[in-house]
Structure 1
Amino acid sequence: MKKIFVCSLSLIAIVFSSCKMDIVNPNGPTDAQVVSTREGLITYSIGMKQNYAASAFESLAITTGGTTREVKGIATFTTVLEIEAGGSALPTFNAAVLGVWLRMNRVMGMADDIIANAPTVLATDNAMRSGVVAHAHLFKAMAIGSLATAFEQVPIATNKAGGVTFVTRQNGLLKAIELLEQAAALIAATAPSGEFNTRVTGANFSLLNCINAYLARYNLMAGRYAQAIAASNLVPLSSASQFAYDGAQTVNPIFTQLRVTNSYSPRDNFGLPAGMFDPADGRIAFYFQGAQVTSGPDVLRTIRGFAQTNSSPIPVYLPDEMRLIKAEAILRSGGTVADAITEINAVRQQSSGDVFGVHANLPAYSGSTTVNDLLTEVYRQRCAELYLSGLRLEDSRRFGRTAPPANVNPVPVTFERTRNFYPYPDQERLNNPNTPADPAI
């Protein structure tokens, strides 16, 4: 049953129009019918998580990874070439941009269905209800936050009749934070049942830790630094939450894109320009393998890291992201520079003990201790630690990295992203009069 919820891009593109969430499937129950029963609601919750892990995350990581030069588009497909080129010429009909939009909206729609139906369907099952609803709040927040990474304005709710409205990305982040706070309150009031933990989240997914990690992430992105530090302090560095793949019904999407279809290939040294990486960084050997291959002005590698097989799990978040969130929040809020350096060095000097085996194994930071230079060091560490996590585009803007020119073809390349935000897909604009104007680049 689980596989019916893992939607391919082609299926989603047929289903969606102006963020409508109804699926017409003459051979199976509608979404409304599925979420009207206890078993259906539980299965739908599992499917929502799988949908994000196998489909939505792929679009976020690979598409924005192409825009931030973490990966290079090497296939001759128009969609790939357009993402690789970027700039003002990126068309509004690009299928990869449409994929980010539709897949995240699909996750949001599934979450909305669960949030709307669980209070009635699970009215007498408090422990299952709290888990299912909190879980849906988490994934709705993740979908909104991901859209806010890629687009200037975003929807924060789905509308089965179409014609969703938009809010600024800042308000989208605040909505994601609100959802996460509601999720934390739900499970604090009523602990999720053992059945929920076994059937929905599984052994390698801590709902509370994921909620707090994303609270830290989105509070940082929203400029709420005290709240970001507080949330990051609640996340145990020894806990590992993962998206699981079985290699059959659900397949590791990074492995598929970078080692099977080979539409994209990793740029060496995390896609950073010369001078921004340390060749002694242990994370180079963690994320890449094989010989360096020259492709025009680029050096390409084979992906390793969390994409070694079609069933390799992918972290929901990396624990050291919490350290880097604290370092950045301290620096941006006027905190003690020494405290920020402590967090930076905890990441730089780590040679063992990381639950995912991601170790920089570098010496302590010895550069300039001005706030701006330390922020550059935080950015450098985030680029290496969080490679292909879908966070680089947001990071590149937030850290004020060189913005792309309208024409992104000059060589050598001196910028680290080929777009600031994506244009809104034609499919949305043609069906929704509320669609905002496209950004220039």
Structure 2
Amino acid sequence: MKRYIAPIAAWILVAVGLSFTGGCSNFVQDIEPPIDEVQDQFLDESQIPYEIIGLQQQFGQGYGQSAMLGDLLSDQCFFDTRVQNATFPTYANIDQGNPLRDNNSTTAAMLPLGRAYYISKDLIERVNRIGTFQDESLRQQALYNAYLYGGLVRFTWASYYGLGPDQGGGFDEGGGPFVPSAQLYDRAVALWTEALQYANEVQQRTLYSLIARAHLYNGKYAQARDAAQRGMRPGDAPFVARYSTQDNNPWYFGGGRGRTQIVVADRFQAYLAADPAEASRIPIERAPSAAGTVFYRQAKYPDRESSLPIITWQENHLMLAELALRLDNDATRALTLVNEVRASRNLSPLSAVDLDVIYVERDKELFVQGQRLMDQRRFNRWHLPAGTWKYLEITERERLSNPNLGG
């Protein structure tokens, strides 16, 4: 059967419901084509803002779902059918470390990432074809977003997806070969470095924090510290994905008030019992469940429109604290940084810090932000039996369409 490849506008004109701060899908040719399209040749400078919105929207959906499923695969959240409306076997499989190739929840997360990848490349090519812009600031904005989100797509593939239980990675060209996580992190850094020339001062600090995180997860500690030192500062607004009632935060219907499929680990209630002030960064609430059972769900994203932090100055501080310990064994510097983060949440200061404390502080500060999976891997603290998956499996749909992935 012939296939009709939708032009890029199919993704940009349906995306106006979501904005940000701080493999394209196919259609069968013998059915009516989508009506929300503009022919590719008619896209000019005036359409660039819509393409940027489409890029942000597709990445937001892909990243949000990937981060949520990553938290489910980690020890931060779990699935239990005694929770009211928790019925998806695809979630149960992920929670058990057996994500399966035909997992449609994982497929639903990967598809918008593929679209974001396509749009980011198209945006660069389109800007170059247009050449001179009447509004030079729009050209700068387009290239900043293209390189920023292009890097974020690679980072997301590197962090969450893989071909085997311990074989993380994805791909960097449509239909191209599998690329291991370490190389994808490097490619993300290269794209973010390119974005720096189109960014303002605040955006540059955000980029450096993202670069620091990629280096940290890649085990490149010296490079991570160099970037984090130029990263986000106290007072910088978090870089977040913003959602709408049309483009919901995935947590709302995955592990929130819209529908509770995923609940949080018991230790978060224990954290609050030990120090109620931790509610400032661990907002949880009782989840509807069967009689005689008690479960808690996240309340960090209570609404469809709740934004999802991608990176914050507090995370940048915790990276600097960890790197002070790893590179210099400087516990004094690390303690100062950790206590600045705690002060921003109105928490009492700690008296000492080591890598074990950093691990716990990251657990609390980055609650349901999708970073726990990577922390468990790099701190070598996996919670499931040997042989279970530490990545979301690249699904059958991608494998069948790309012979390089092994079919």
Normalising by structure 2, what TM-score?
Answer: 0.81
Partners of 1:77 and 1:20 lie apart in 2 by 26
Query: Which position in structure 2 is the counterpart of 1:414?
Result: none
| CA gap 1:155/1:297 in 2 versus in 1, 3 angstroms | farther
Q: Which amino acid aligns with 1:288?
A: P
Instruction: Describe the SS at the equivalent of 2:263.
Output: strand
Deviation at 1:84, TM superposition (A): 2.3
Deviation at 1:6, TM superposition (A): 7.6
Q: Is the 8 A contact 2:168 2:180 kept in 1?
A: yes
Deviation at 1:31, TM superposition (A): 7.8
Match of 2:89 among 34, 55, 78: 78
Deviation at 1:65, TM superposition (A): 1.2
Deviation at 1:277, TM superposition (A): 8.6
Asked if 1:144 is matched to 2:150, the reply is no
Q: Is the 8 A contact 1:379 1:395 kept in 2?
A: yes
Query: Which position in structure 1 is the counterpart of 2:395?
Result: 425
Partners of 2:406 and 2:317 lie apart in 1 by 36
Partners of 2:280 and 2:267 lie apart in 1 by 10
Asked if 1:177 is matched to 2:189, the reply is yes
* RMSD, matched Cα: 3.2
Query: Which position in structure 1 is the counterpart of 2:142?
Result: 132
Query: Which position in structure 2 is the counterpart of 1:340?
Result: 334
Identity %: 23
Unaligned runs of 5+ in 2: 1-10, 18-22, 81-85
Deviation at 1:126, TM superposition (A): 3.3
Query: Which position in structure 2 is the counterpart of 1:280?
Result: 275
Partners of 1:103 and 1:296 lie apart in 2 by 38
Partners of 2:296 and 2:272 lie apart in 1 by 16
Match of 1:28 among 23, 36, 61: 36
Partners of 2:286 and 2:277 lie apart in 1 by 16
Partners of 1:157 and 1:176 lie apart in 2 by 10
Asked if 1:364 is matched to 2:360, the reply is no
Asked if 1:263 is matched to 2:261, the reply is yes
Query: Which position in structure 2 is the counterpart of 1:415?
Result: none
Deviation at 1:264, TM superposition (A): 1.6
Q: Is the 8 A contact 1:21 1:109 kept in 2?
A: no
Deviations 1:261-314 (A, max 9, x none): 22222334349xx8x898216334543344488889995213222x12222233
Deviations 1:179-200 (A, max 9, x none): 0000002337xx9xxxxxxxxx
Partners of 2:152 and 2:121 lie apart in 1 by 13
Asked if 1:402 is matched to 2:386, the reply is no
Instruction: Describe the SS at the equivalent of 1:245.
Output: coil
Match of 1:48 among 49, 55, 60: 55
Size of the alignment, in residue pairs?
375
Q: Is the 8 A contact 1:288 1:301 kept in 2?
A: no
Partners of 1:58 and 1:337 lie apart in 2 by 34
| CA gap 1:22/1:293 in 2 versus in 1, 3 angstroms | closer
Normalising by structure 1, what TM-score?
Answer: 0.75
Match of 2:217 among 201, 221, 228: 221
Q: Is the 8 A contact 1:154 1:168 kept in 2?
A: yes
Q: Is the 8 A contact 2:16 2:53 kept in 1?
A: no
Q: Is the 8 A contact 2:185 2:218 kept in 1?
A: yes
Q: Is the 8 A contact 1:376 1:399 kept in 2?
A: no
Query: Which position in structure 1 is the counterpart of 2:208?
Result: 212
Partners of 1:298 and 1:178 lie apart in 2 by 49
Q: Is the 8 A contact 2:249 2:306 kept in 1?
A: yes
Q: Which amino acid aligns with 2:258?
A: V
Instruction: Describe the SS at the equivalent of 2:311.
Output: coil
Deviation at 1:107, TM superposition (A): 1.4
Instruction: Describe the SS at the equivalent of 1:259.
Output: coil
Instruction: Describe the SS at the equivalent of 1:5.
Output: coil
| CA gap 1:297/1:165 in 2 versus in 1, 3 angstroms | farther
Q: Which amino acid aligns with 1:304?
A: A
